[in-house]
């Protein structure tokens, strides 16, 4: 992926230098502002890294814009670490879905809020599931900044214990119902074609993983590690820790629905 690119007149993406199996090419930091306004808000500043800050400053200069606010989709460090430091550095407000990220002087956002900054309006869309505090931001162009709710490649993780599969599925439907023109993801490339189909695939993928877990438990009780080995055999081992989180989150859903029961230690069986 290119380090800095204009996705549309309203949005510039700056790629953070933190690639990994979990962050793909790195965290996508977005600058959003009306063309000619001379202002921009940053969404997901990412890691508190000097090289990344320099790239964002270059992008601001290219836009002939000053930073007027910091927005964050969720509290994970690869998205939020620089939020408070940059807010202090630039003397601008920070807004997020939790007080821990927004800071004492920041704004805690909720679904349905509107953020009017940089000559434009961003609609706040509550998208819990990946994390409890996850938000997306709908732009006036119709595109949606989706954070880690949807990735540009692969699928997202429902973290455990704070993630929630049912909430995640509801959030997929909520984003789908917006009729987005594009999805600007927290990691990986933007998604601009068949966006509704992508969201449908994500829902189908979660249902498939759930079916795989139930199928794996048919012979008898298994531990989470055994289930991950069975269900995620085709997935690189380096992402198995994340797969274990999604597995635990799915088992929690199935347990609440009375389909599985936790046994001794870390073992699970069908109810």
Residues known to be catalytic: 78
Report which DSSP code applies to 20. Answer: B
Smallest CA-to-CA distance from 133 within 96, 158, 161, 167 is with 96
Q: Kind and range of the H or E element at 8?
A: strand 4-8
User: Is residue 118 within 8 Å of 95, Cβ to Cβ?
Assistant: no
Distance CA 31, CA 76 (A): 19
Burial (CB count <10 Å: 0-12, 13-18, 19+), residue 110: exposed
């Amino acid at each position: 992926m290119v380090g800095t690119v204009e996705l549309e007149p309203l949005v510039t993406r700056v790629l953070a230098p933190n690639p990994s199996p979990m962050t793909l090419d790195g965290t996508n930091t977005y600058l959003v502002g009306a063309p000619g306004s001379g202002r921009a808000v940053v969404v997901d500043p990412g890691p508190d890294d000097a090289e990344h800050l320099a790239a964002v400053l270059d992008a601001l200069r290219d836009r002939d814009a000053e930073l007027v606010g910091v927005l964050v989709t969720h509290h994970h460090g690869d998205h939020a670490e620089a939020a408070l430091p940059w807010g202090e550095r630039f003397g601008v407000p920070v807004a997020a879905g939790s007080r821990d990220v927004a800071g004492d002087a920041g704004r805690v956002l909720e679904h349905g809020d509107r953020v009017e900054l940089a000559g434009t309006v961003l609609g706040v869309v509550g998208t819990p599931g990946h994390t409890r505090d996850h938000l997306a931001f709908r732009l006036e162009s119709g595109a949606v900044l989706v954070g880690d709710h949807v990735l540009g490649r692969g699928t997202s993780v429902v973290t455990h214990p704070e993630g929630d599969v049912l909430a995640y599925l509801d959030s997929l439907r909520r984003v789908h119902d917006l009729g987005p023109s594009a999805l600007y993801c927290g990691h990986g490339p933007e998604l601009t074609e068949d966006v509704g189909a992508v969201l449908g695939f994500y829902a189908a993928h979660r249902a498939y993983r759930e079916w795989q877990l139930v199928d794996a438990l048919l012979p008898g009780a298994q531990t989470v590690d055994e289930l991950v080995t069975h269900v995620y055999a085709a997935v690189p081992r380096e992402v198995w820790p994340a797969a274990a989180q999604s597995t635990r989150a799915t088992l929690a859903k199935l347990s609440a629905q009375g389909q599985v029961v936790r046994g001794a230690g870390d073992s699970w069986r069908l109810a």
